[in-house]
Amino acid sequence: MPTFDRKDKSRYATFTRRSLMMTGGMTAVFAVLGGRLFQLQIEDGADYMTQAEANRVSQRLVAPSRGRILDRFGVELANNRRNYRVLLVAEQASDGVEAALDRLAKIIELPDRQREKVLHDLQENKKFLPVPVAENLSWEEFARINLQLPYLPGVQPDVGETRAYPYSAGLAHVLGYVAAVSPNDKKDADDPLLDLPGFRIGKRGIEKEYDEDVRGAAGVSRVEVNAYGRVIRELSRTPGEPGKDVWLTIDQQLQQFVDQRLGNESTACVVMDVATGDVLAMSSTPGFDPNLFNVGISNDDWKVLTTDDHKPLIDKVLAGVYPPGSTFKPTVALAAVQAGLDKDFSVNCTGSLRFGNHDFHCWKKGGHGHVDLHRGIQVSCDVFFYETARRIGIDAIEDAAHKIGFGHATGIEIPGERSGVIPGRAWKLKTYGVPWLQGETLNTGIGQGYVLVTPIQLCTVAARIASGRAVTPRITRVVGEAWQTRLAAGPLPIKDDAFAIVRAGMNAVTNEPGGTAFAWRIPDPGFEMAGKTGTAQVRVISKEEHINGVKKNESLPWKLRDHALFIAFAPVDQPRYALSIIMEHGAVTAHPHVQMARDILLFAQQRDPVKLPTAYPVKAASAAGVGRA
C-alpha cells in the first residue's frame, strides 16, 4: 500500500479547497444563466412574443381580378384566363438552377433565349424569390409538370390570371392592352398593387382610360413565412374588390365584319349610331395582337410591328390626321347655305379657275359645265367649290367646320385622340406669323391646304349631317353598374334647309347617275346609302403634269398614291348609321374603300344592332366569374 506523505495531504487539502471555490464559481454562473432566462422569458417575454409573431406573419397583397370589357350584347372583348405558369426558386434547386432548367426543358419547351432570360432574372433576384420560367402553359404541360414535381426540386407550379383578348387584332386600338408597370406609372400613384411583381396595368385604349375602374382593389393575405420568406401556409385572407366591367357600345359582330372587310389594307373605319353617337364598330387596320404586350413582346414581333409601312401600332381612327379632300365639300356647302348664298347659285366649270395669277384646277380636265350646289356635291366639282369658298370667305367655312365637328377632339373615351386642323385667319397668324391669303380659302374649299381631320371626326360629321343634331361619339355604355347616361343631342346651330340640300347632294353621289360613287351604290330598296367621296393628295402635282395630264394613281408607287376617303349614312330616308372610311394610298379607280363602305353599311342595316336589345350588366360579383375561383 502506498503511503501518503505530508505533501500528498497538503495537495489533497488544496484540491478540495479550490474545488469548492470553483464549485462556487460554477454556481454563480448557473445563477447568471437562470437570471438571464428570467429576464428574457418572464420580464421581456411579451415583447419577444410580439417579435416572433412579426417574424412569422407576413402580409401579402392579393391581386384582384381585372374587370372585363364587353360589347353591347355582353360578348367578352377582354377577359381573364387562367395563367398556368412555372416558377423556379433558386434556393430550393438542390443541384443548381442549370440542372433544374435542364430537367424542365425535357417536359416543356424552353427556348435558349427564354432560358437566358430566366438565368438573368435568377441572378438579379433574391434566392428565395420565385422567378417565372414559363407562362401561359397548356393544361397538358402544366399537368405533366405537376406529375413530375417530386423530381423537380425548386420548381413551383402556379396558377395566376392573365389578360386575354379573344378577338385579337381587330379591336386592338379600341381596347388597348395591359403591360408591366413602369417606374413612370408609379410616380404619382399610391396604389400598393403597382408594386406587386408581375402586376399589369392598362397602357392604351379603354384599358388605359378606365384602368382604375377595371383594376379593382387589392386584397390582403396574412401568411406564415419562414426565415427565407417562403410561404408556409395562409392564416387569413381579406378578399380584394374585383375590377368593374366596362360595357362598350361596340357590336362585336359588326366589328368583326368590318375587320374582315378591311383586311390588311392600311385603313381606318368607324360606324356610328346617328341618333346617339354610339360607336358600333371602330377599326384601324392592320391591327396587332394585344396579347403580345401582356406577356412581354418579343424583339422579332416588335420589329415587325414598328417597321411595317402600314403602321399597325398607330390608331388611325383617332390619331391619324388626313386632309379630308372632297369629303370636306358637304361642310363647305353647309357654310354656303348658312352664309346666305343663293340656293340657285351656279358656276360654269371649264376645268379650272383663274384666281390672281394662279390656275386652280378641277379634278375633271374638261370641266363639268353648268354646276349648282346639288350637282357640285354629286360630281364633286372643284371649280364650284373654289368659287363658293371665294364668295363666302374663310371665316364662314371655319365657323361651319367647327360647328359640324371638325377642328377639335370629339371627346371619345379613348386616350390619344388628335384634334386635326381647321385653318382660319387667327390660326394662320398664330401658327405661321403671316396673314391669310385668299388663294388659301380656295384650297380650303375643296378640303386641301391646311385642313386636317381624323376618321372619328369624319364619322361624327356624317352622323350630324344625317341627323342634324349635335351628336358626339361615345364608346362606353356602363362602367361597373353605373350607366354612362348623356343628354340627348340638341339641334346644331345650322339651318335645316342647309342639311336638306347637303343630304340631297350626298344622295345624288351614290344614287343618281353621274354621281362619283354611283357605281358602288346599295341597290337594295330601303337600304340605300348617301355618301361623299374624297381624295387627299399626298404629293405636289407640278404644272407640267396639269398640262400633260395628271398621273394615274395606279401608275405611282403605293407610298405616293393619294389617300381615298368616303363618308356615308344609311338608310337615306331615315338615317340610322353613319360611316367614315379612309384608305391610305388607296385612291384607285375601283374605289375599293367605297365598296367596303357599301358592304359594311348594308351589313349594319340588315343586322341593325341599334334595334336589338342590349345586354344589362348583372351584379359584378357573379358576372365576372372568369378565373375568379
Partner 1 sequence: MNTRPYALARRTIGSFDKLGEINWGLVLLLVLIACAGFAMLYSDANAHLWPWAGPQIIRFFAGLVILVSVALVDTRFWLRAAYPAYAISLVLLALVLVIGHKGLGAERWIALGPVEIQPSEMMKIALILALARFLNGLSVEDVSKPHNLAIALVMIGLPALLVAKQPNLGTTLILVADGASLLFLAGLSWWWIGPVLGAVVVAVPTAWRFVLHDYQKQRVMTFLNPESDALGAGWNITQAKIAIGSGGLTGKGFLEGTQSRLNFLPEKQTDFIFTTFAEEFGFAGSIALLILFAVVIGYGVQIAMSARSQFARLIAIGITLNFFFYIMINALMVMGLIPVVGIPMPLVSYGGTAMLTVMFGFGLLMSCHVHRQVEIARHSAGII
Residues 100 and 259: beta-carbon distance below 8 Å: no
* 227 in contact with partner 1 (CB under 8 A): yes
Is 52 a residue that touches partner 1 (CB under 8 A)? yes
Contact between 37 and partner 1 per CB under 8 A? yes
Task: List Cα–Cα distances, 435 to 18, 67, 199, 423, in angstroms.
Answer: 115, 52, 53, 12
> Rounded to whole angstroms, how far apart are CA atoms 66 and 165?
13
236 touching partner 1, by CB under 8 A: no
Applying CB under 8 A, does 431 fall inside the site for partner 1?
A: no
Catalytically active residues, by annotation? 326
Helix count and strand count (H, E) for the chain = 23, 21
34 binds partner 1 (CB under 8 A): yes
Which of 123, 182, 226, 306 binds partner 1 (CB under 8 A)? It is 226
**59 binding partner 1? (CB under 8 A):** no
Is the Cα torsion angle 39, 40, 46, 47 positive or negative in sign? positive
Please report whether residue 146 would count as binding partner 1 according to CB under 8 A: no
Dig out the grid coordinates for 199 from the structure. 402586376
Binding of partner 1 by 186 (CB under 8 A): no
Task: Copy the grid coordinates of residue 142.
Answer: 402544366
Residue pair 283/267 in contact (Cβ under 8 Å)? The answer is yes
Query: Site for partner 1 (CB under 8 A): which residue of 97, 175, 232, 420?
Result: 232
User: What is the DSSP pairing of strand 57-62 with strand 358-361?
Assistant: unpaired
Q: Does residue number 56 form part of the binding site for partner 1 (CB under 8 A)? A: yes
Rounded to 10 degrees, the C-alpha dihedral 163/165/171/176 comes to: 10
Can you point out the beta strands (E) in 219-320? Answer: 219-225, 231-238, 246-248, 267-273, 279-285
- Binders of partner 1 among residues 364 to 393 (CB under 8 A) are none
CA triple 233-234-240, angle to 5 deg: 155
- Please name the residue that has the C-alpha cell 505533501: 7
234 binds partner 1 (CB under 8 A): no
CA distance 451 to 329: 12
Taking the complex as a whole, the smallest distance from the CB of residue 1 to partner 1 amounts, in Å, to 5
Instruction: Tell me the C-alpha distance between 474 and 247, whole Å.
Output: 12
Kindly give, in sequence order, each residue whose CB lies less than 8 Å from that of residue 324, ignoring residues fewer than 6 positions away.
406, 447, 451, 452, 453, 458, 534, 536, 565
Answer for which of 195, 228, 411, 437 binds partner 1 (CB under 8 A) is: 228
26 lies in the site for partner 1, by CB under 8 A: yes
Which of the ranges 42-50, 251-259, 405-413, 495-503 carries the binding residues for partner 1, by CB under 8 A?
42-50
Q: Does 44 bind partner 1 (CB under 8 A)?
A: yes
Write the secondary structure of 518-531 as one string of H (helix), E (strand) and C (coil): HHHCCCCCCCCCEE
Q: Does 150 bind partner 1 (CB under 8 A)?
A: no
Q: Which is closer to partner 1, CB of 23 or CB of 542?
A: 23
Minimum CB–partner distance for residue 158 and partner 1 (Å): 21
Q: Would you count residue 42 as binding partner 1 (CB under 8 A)?
A: yes
Q: Which of residues 5-24 bind partner 1 (CB under 8 A)?
A: 5, 7-8, 10-12, 14-16, 18-19, 22-23
Smaller CB distance to partner 1: residue 26 or 560? 26
**Closest approach of Cβ 227 to partner 1, in Å?**
4
Q: What share of the chain is helix, strand, coil (3-state, %, to 5)?
A: 40, 20, 40
Count, residues in the chain: 629
Closer by beta carbon to partner 1, 29 or else 189: 29
For residue 308, the minimal CB distance to partner 1 (Å) is 51
Judged by CB under 8 A, does residue 49 bind partner 1? yes
Can you give the binding site for partner 1, defined by CB under 8 A?
A: 1-3, 5, 7-8, 10-12, 14-16, 18-19, 22-23, 26-27, 29-30, 32-34, 36-38, 40-42, 44-49, 51-53, 55-56, 224-228, 232
